[in-house]
Amino acid sequence: MYGTQSQRDLSLELPISRQSIHARRAKITVKFQDLYGFTVEGNVDDANILNEVREKVRQQGRAWWALEASKGANWYLQTHVSSALKSSLKFTNLVNAITLKKLIRKGIPPVLRPKVWFSLSGAAKKKSTVPDSYYNDLIIAVEGKVTPATKQIDHDLPRTFPGHPWLDTPEGHASLRRVLVAYSFRDSDVGYCQGLNYVAALLLLVMKTEEDAFWMLAVLLENVLVNDCYSNNLSGCHVEQRVFKDLLKKKCPSIYAHLEALEFDVSLVATEWFLCLFSKSLPSETTLRVWDVLFYEGAKVLFNVALAIFKMKEEELLMTQYVGDVINVIQNTTHHLFDPDDLLTVAFDKIGFMTSTNISKERKKQEPAVMAELDQRLRRLNSSNMDANSGLT
């Protein structure tokens, strides 16, 4: 009874199926659609949680409207904690900045997301530095061009959230293709990296227009995330993984020690999180709540969230005896995190304080080691090629 009710209640304009999250779910009782139209398969509890989340989203919407009414529309566009502190120390600005930070951690209402993300992430600023026709000109200029990147993009289009009623249509494929292809020409060092397909797809669903999704992708790769996360040998991603391991050691020492004993490398699960920004692992609203904070507070948020996933399941993780068990615990957790607050409360209240400055320092520390490792590997591989060639002749 509850199941059918929630089914009706939860269906919005965009229906979708999300294989990656729910394919592995053993006991399927109900199917329903989440806020962004992804078809979710779960039990009745999950459906109830999603209903509660919908109600919370509505309340959060009311809070935003109320603030808009009291502070004026777009009040949040001029505030930023650091700039407010640096510049005038004006109380109102500061209060606004703090209010905004708290508010964003509680979630941006889906209707406001396109506008708020676009301004607070810096995408609007980035766009304003080029002529208005930039995106359209780029699309026209690259039309019909074939590069290794475009071939790979074409290959991945039907493999990006397959079954999604909009993304997995000719129209959806064409939109996603234009965004990814345009970006591959904007930054040829990145070109196309698998993982960006999921990120761009979710950006399209939120931002509604291709052009805004394109600029969000640009600001994400060029300003929000660490450099070289997606380019050539993913060196940025390697750096992030090392930083993450160190943080886990500091923040969750017993989990770290246990996993170490199992010879479980946390990158085995965390690499996908950092490259897809959780879009392939967490339910859609939870992913977008992470992105709300990501676009405002920066890439350190990914560490908070990744640490929180481990922290939440500390007891269970400490009882695991095999690598497979660890992965099952983690996947079961991420796939059923339908209530974003469960995750974000741990991420921001229980992990302890981390600043972007500290994280940057940690990255700087890891960079040489990563470069040396990648370099050494490349050299070894080349020498192995030479050996093999000389062996054949």
Buried b (16+ CB within 10 A) or exposed e, 10-29: beeebbbbbebbbeebeeee
Residue whose CB is less far from other proteins, 1 or 89: 89
- Residue among 51 and 99 whose Cβ is closer to other proteins: 99
Q: Do 244 and 364 contact (CB within 8 A), yes or no?
A: no
Rounded Cα gap, residues 92 and 89, in angstroms: 9
Which is nearer to other proteins, 35 or 81 (by Cβ)?
81
What are the two backbone dihedrals, phi and then psi, of residue 165, each rounded to the nearest 5 degrees?
-65, -20
Rounded to a whole number of angstroms, the minimum distance from the CB of residue 207 to other proteins is: 22
Phi, psi of 143 (to 5 degrees): -60, 130
209 by DSSP, 3-state: which? coil
Which is nearer to other proteins, 125 or 379 (by Cβ)? 379
Q: What is the b/e burial string over 148-181, where b = at least 16 CB atoms within 10 angstroms of the residue's CB? A: ebbebbeebbeebbeebbbbbeeebbebbbbbbb
| Rounded least distance, CB 162 to other proteins, Å | 5
Q: Based on CB atoms, which residue is closest to other proteins, 127 or 258? A: 258
290: tokens are 């992470």
Q: Which is nearer to other proteins, 230 or 338 (CB)?
A: 230
- Number of residues that this document lists for the chain: 393
The two three-digit tokens of residue 235, written as one number: 């060196």
Give the shortest CB-382-to-other proteins separation in angstroms. 10
Cα–Cα dist 10/281, whole Å: 21
φ, ψ (nearest 5 deg) of residue 39: -75, 125
Distance of CA 43 to the CA centre of its chain: 25
145: its two tokens = 């061009």
Do the Cβ atoms of 277 and 302 come closer than 8 Å? yes
For other proteins, the closer of residues 47 and 237 by Cβ is 237
Nearest-approach distance from CB 166 to other proteins, in angstroms: 16
Q: Who contacts 205 (Cβ-Cβ below 8 Å, separation ≥6)?
A: 14, 36, 37, 166, 167
Looking at residue 185, its amino acid is: F
Using the minimum distance from each CB to other proteins, give the nearer residue, 63 or 369: 63
Q: In angstroms, what is the C-alpha Rg of the chain?
A: 22
**Cβ 88 to other proteins, closest distance in Å?**
13
- Nearer residue to other proteins within complex by CB, 22 or 178: 22
